Chains A and B, each alone.
Chain A
Amino acid sequence: MKILKLIFKNTLRHKLRTVLTIFGISIAVIAFGILRTVVTAWYSSVSAASANRLIVRQSVSFIFPLPYSYLEKITQVPGVKDVTFANWFGGTYIDKNNFFARLAVNADNYFDVYKEFVVPKDQLETFKKERNSCVIGSDIAKKYNIKLGDVMTLDGDIYPGRWEFVVRGIYQPKFKSTDAMQMFFHWSYLDETMKKEMPGRAGDVGWYVVLINDPLQSASISDQIDALFKNSSAETKTETEAAFQQGFIQSSSAIITSMNFISFVIIGIIMLVLGNTMIMSARERTREYAVLKTLGFSGKHLAGIILGESLLISILGGGVGLLFTYPIIKGFSQFIPKGIFPVFEIEPITVVLACSSAIIIGIVASLFPIQRALSTKIVDGIRFTG
């Protein structure tokens, strides 16, 4: 406690240098925070995945459909509680830049399987009854100012034509990580149109979603489902929802890995910035450290003074950086389309990483100056002229 004042005064000895170092650390922490937030946002769909849901898709590729007739066979597999399905519709809503997922789903039970999409009971009942109705996420409603009863028109691309849907439900996300930027409508409505206009594409299902009783049984249930359709024209690949989401992310894995790597390179840069400052400070004070030693200060005291100064700067830099990261991330989230990252905010793990990095950097940056201060003999230190 007694040497805290000395640590504080030493820190402010070269105010401009200290402020610039703190500023440099803050900038690096902000960059670290943004990169980590992007990485965690990227993985948020995986972390939001339910453990008791399996996805059944075409084994060759996700883009190839499965026959509707698989539904009944999958439902009969032991351990399966419920089965629903969906098709990726694609299309454009007003403008190509308006990106959000549009899915044709089994209206009867889709929201029973996905309980995180909370649709008011009366709205859900109305939706189920009207074949050209849809349910949208609250973020879509908010962003495009859509109310119940409004008509949403989509220009189809995978399924050509103009498609009109009456909004009969607006769901609220149950969890923070739940995507509130999705649109769901009746698969049967899509299928009926296909039967009329493109009969070859009727009866196609994009993927099945299997709700199981026991997540521990997921591997054996997956094997049983895939075995049902082995050697058929449309073999299946069944996996957990998390693995399915992970598969999507894999395609961007090089970018994410680079971001991860860069975020830790930034930590290295901070270490060099602070290390440089501390080495300069310790070098300038070689004589003072020698004087303190003559006055009876031990190596432990000197180490405490240098470490304290290094920690003070790194923690201040880290703190200021984190403080500014929050509004910056909030600002970023306004410009990032909601459909891309359902959750774009600083995760606790990012804060923990930034704080612990600041502390570790403070310690590491002080090691060389401490070693130098302790190993310099008093007589050499007193003669030191810089």
Chain B
Amino acid sequence: MSGIIQVKNVSKSYWRDSIETSVLHDISLDIKEGEFTALMGPSGSGKTTLLNLISGIDKPSKGEIIINGADISKLSESALAKWRSTNIGFVFQFYNLIPVLTAFENVELPILLTKLSKAERKQHVETALNIVGLNDRMDHYPKQLSGGQEQRVAIARAIVTDPVILVADEPTGDLDKHSADEILLLMERLNKEFNKTIVMVTHDPHAASKAHVIRHLEKGDLIQETV
């Protein structure tokens, strides 16, 4: 059975000052629906680049990326933006919340683009904040929250559209151990209870240990897969 995420012979190069830098070399992998995958590797191994390609915020130089049956490498920028808004939830290392918006408003951002009514949006946001355990902080601004709480708001923002896939780039990288454990627990819960397919980039073996599959990259090559 084919995975929900199929990466087929993907290569990626960047041009900087007319010098081509090859970041990924002929990568192929399958991630099944409901799988929790960790991408590990040293800095510069290409794990974040691979995550960016899977989430449709960057395009491969060669190869195909098929998500849920759709080849996203062939989509236009605007089609890709629309596709991302419904299929992918993003969690960043530095949360990337909008500082002038409350927790509620930050979580509401992705669904502002939908046709949901105000009442429906409110319900979705409250549900998402409830899942991450922050329904009592919805009127707080990011600066009034701890790092762990900010990351939970970011996770609520990622799941508010009920996407099939969650991508997380070092989600615990900026957190203390206690907060990191809370975030990992939350991600495990999202994977188990809500059947979210999760692709997480991490340096942290403890974080990676929560995943079903750990894929190791080195110098742009996929070198090892640990189940």
Which residues on A are within 8 Å of B, measured CB to CB? Answer: 2-3, 5-6, 9-10, 12-13, 287-288, 291-299, 301, 377-379, 382
Whether, in the assembled complex, B131 has its beta carbon less than 8 Å from a beta carbon of chain A, the answer is: no
Whether, in the assembled complex, B84 has its beta carbon less than 8 Å from a beta carbon of chain A, the answer is: yes
Contact across chains for B90 and A294 when beta carbons are under 8 A apart: yes
Contact across chains for B100 and A301 when beta carbons are under 8 A apart: no
Name the residue on A nearest B87 (C-beta).
A296
- 23 pairs of residues in contact across A and B, judged by CB atoms under 8 Å: A5-B105, A6-B98, A6-B101, A9-B100, A9-B101, A10-B100, A13-B99, A287-B96, A288-B98, A291-B92, A292-B109, A293-B57, A293-B81, A294-B57, A294-B90, A295-B84, A296-B84, A296-B113, A297-B81, A377-B58, A379-B52, A379-B58, A382-B92
Interface size class of B (residues with CB under 8 A): 20 to 34
Contact across chains for B78 and A295 when beta carbons are under 8 A apart: no
Q: What string of 1s and 0s marks CB contacts (under 8 Å) between B93-113 and chain A?
A: 000101111000100011011
- CB neighbours (8 Å) of B52 from chain A are 378-379
- CB neighbours (8 Å) of B92 from chain A are 291, 382
- For the complex of A and B, list the 3 residue pairs with the smallest distance between their C-beta atoms, beginning with the closest: A296-B85, A9-B100, A378-B57
Residues facing A in B40-59 (CB within 8 A) are: 52, 55, 57-58
A295 with B109, Cβ < 8 A, contacts A288-B96, A382-B96 known? yes
Contact across chains for A378 and B82 when beta carbons are under 8 A apart: no
Contact across chains for B96 and A297 when beta carbons are under 8 A apart: no
- CB neighbours (8 Å) of A296 from chain B are 81-82, 84-86, 110, 113
Residues facing A in B63-95 (CB within 8 A) are: 77-78, 81-82, 84-86, 88, 90, 92
A298 with B109, Cβ < 8 A, contacts A6-B101, A291-B92 known? no
- CB neighbours (8 Å) of A12 from chain B are 100
Known: A288-B96, A382-B96. 12 other contacts (CB 8 A): A2-B112, A6-B101, A9-B101, A12-B100, A291-B96, A291-B98, A294-B55, A294-B88, A297-B113, A298-B82, A379-B58, A382-B92
- CB neighbours (8 Å) of B88 from chain A are 294
Contact across chains for A299 and B77 when beta carbons are under 8 A apart: yes
- The CA of A292 and the CA of B96, in the complex, are separated in Å by 10
Interface of A is mostly: helix
Nearest chain B CB to A304 CB, angstrom units? 12
Residues facing A in B120-159 (CB within 8 A) are: 157
A3 with B84, Cβ < 8 A, contacts A291-B96, A378-B58 known? no
Which residues on B are within 8 Å of A, measured CB to CB? Answer: 52, 55, 57-58, 77-78, 81-82, 84-86, 88, 90, 92, 96, 98-101, 105, 109-110, 112-113, 157
Name the residue on A nearest B77 (C-beta).
A299
- CB neighbours (8 Å) of B98 from chain A are 6, 288, 291
Contact across chains for A295 and B90 when beta carbons are under 8 A apart: yes
Nearest chain A CB to B220 CB, angstrom units? 16
Name the residue on A nearest B118 (C-beta).
A2
Contact across chains for B55 and A301 when beta carbons are under 8 A apart: no
- CB neighbours (8 Å) of A6 from chain B are 98, 100-101
- CB neighbours (8 Å) of A297 from chain B are 81, 113
- CB neighbours (8 Å) of B109 from chain A are 292, 295
- The CA of A377 and the CA of B110, in the complex, are separated in Å by 19
Name the residue on A nearest B99 (C-beta).
A13
- CB neighbours (8 Å) of B86 from chain A are 296
- CB neighbours (8 Å) of B96 from chain A are 287-288, 291, 382
- The CA of A362 and the CA of B58, in the complex, are separated in Å by 32
A295 with B57, Cβ < 8 A, contacts A9-B101, A13-B100, A288-B96 known? no
Nearest chain A CB to B167 CB, angstrom units? 9
Contact across chains for B78 and A298 when beta carbons are under 8 A apart: yes
Nearest chain B CB to A10 CB, angstrom units? 6
Contact across chains for B84 and A294 when beta carbons are under 8 A apart: yes
Name the residue on B nearest A9 (C-beta).
B100
- The CA of A298 and the CA of B85, in the complex, are separated in Å by 10
- The CA of A295 and the CA of B154, in the complex, are separated in Å by 11
Nearest chain B CB to A376 CB, angstrom units? 12
- CB neighbours (8 Å) of A13 from chain B are 99-100
- CB neighbours (8 Å) of A377 from chain B are 58
- The CA of A379 and the CA of B105, in the complex, are separated in Å by 24
| Max chain A Cβ within 10 angstroms of own Cβ: one of B85, B98, B101 | B98
Nearest chain B CB to A300 CB, angstrom units? 8
- The CA of A291 and the CA of B109, in the complex, are separated in Å by 11
| Max chain B Cβ within 10 angstroms of own Cβ: one of A295, A299, A379 | A295
Name the residue on B nearest A5 (C-beta).
B105
- CB neighbours (8 Å) of A292 from chain B are 109
Name the residue on A nearest B86 (C-beta).
A296
